[in-house]
Amino acid sequence: MGELLDIRRIYVEAGAAELPRGKEILGRWPEATIVEVESHQRIPELYGDETNVRRWVRIKREALVVGVKKTMTARPNGRSADFIAPSTANGCAMACAYCYVPRHKGYSNPITVFANIERVCSYVKGHAGRQGRKAEPNECDPVAWVYDIGENSDCSVDALISDNVRDLVELFRGLPDAKASFATKYVNRDLLDWDPRGRTRIRFSLMPPADAKVLDIRTSPVGERIAAIDDFVAAGYEVHVNFSPVVVRDGWLEDWADLLDQLDAGIGAAAKRQLAAEIIFLTHNRGLHEVNLGWHPRAEELIWRPELQQVKRSQNGDLNVRYRTGSKGGYVHALTGLIAQRTPYLRVRYAF
């Protein structure tokens, strides 16, 4: 954990330190400086200060925010999951160049962890209970209602900070009609001892190592993620892969062929029988592009390609850039065709 997290300053929202989980978190770093704040969402020295670009990674490693989750909602999703569960954390200690969270949190996004985990678990349990049995299969799951528990963070890293993720995994193993899901770029083998009983889906994010070395900063190597798949299947997790983001560049398809061969050679029959994939081509944003130029301009050579991209307004109103309509369809077809050829057992849940 020392390479990824070396917490020296903890910003604590009023009330969070009095909760059992808040006390546990503060107890893990007794030598850290404690800074009381009115709101976990308004910390000027962390959020909205462009000078923080120069300290991007250092802040992620050394700062932690402990807050209280105010709003409990399970937002319908319908693609990766049926619902987005109330978050128990947001932000990340890793520094992937394409991450969308910094677009909403200013110039730094260290981990914010929420201490009122009991309320989150109670809400999720009640919401799942009200759904009853799933009447019809969908692309999320044929039987269970799927709840993404890590939309704005990486749960494998969050588990280094608190037991919030473990509490959710243990909750879902007792919910007969629901399962948890989260994507991760970090191999945390502590999770292997949690006995999820098939009720948690882990989606290991993969991309060609040549891209990951530039874009997936401070994450587990792609080879390590692939090597962990069999162990997580054996431990009782459902394991999928998340091909995201797919970056179009010279030689991109050849490198994806090599990655598929590496995946095929690196996993056993049990993993292959239950494996499925999500495919998401790169979406970028001018604001994030400007941020990245301040700390990691090399990444922008890969992901800021105006000659290949067009502006498109997202569902939340942001103006993003995506690969051009028409060309993108060809890219999707090429990659899904390659998957059918190299890893025919790998079911593609969706691709866009």
**CATH code for the domain in which residue 149 is found:** 3.80.30.30
Q: Report CA-CA distances (Å) from 336 to 4, 241, 264.
A: 34, 14, 15
Strand partners, 243: 206, 279
Mutual angle of helices 252-266 and 222-234, in 10-degree steps: 30
How many domains does one find in the chain?
A: 1
Global pTM? Answer: 0.96
pLDDT in tens, 56-95: 788 899 999 999 999 999 999 988 999 999 999 999 999 9
Residue 133 is part of which domain span?
Answer: 9-351
User: Is residue 256 in some structural domain?
Assistant: yes
Among 324, 319, 346, 325, smallest CA distance to 335 is for 346
The two structure tokens encoding residue 292? 């990245």
Residue spans of beta strands (DSSP E) within the chain? 9-13, 33-37, 63-67, 75-76, 83-84, 89-90, 112-114, 145-148, 178-184, 200-206, 238-246, 276-281, 283-285, 309-313, 319-323, 347-351
Q: Give the pLDDT of residue 50.
A: 63
pLDDT in tens, 84-121: 999 999 999 999 999 876 655 556 789 999 999 999 99
User: Is residue 2 in some structural domain?
Assistant: no
User: Is residue 4 in some structural domain?
Assistant: no
pLDDT under 70: residue ranges of the chain = 1-2, 48-51, 101-107, 315-317
Contacts of 246 (CB under 8 A, 6+ apart): 207, 252, 256, 279, 280, 281, 282, 331, 335
Q: Give the pLDDT of residue 78.
A: 87
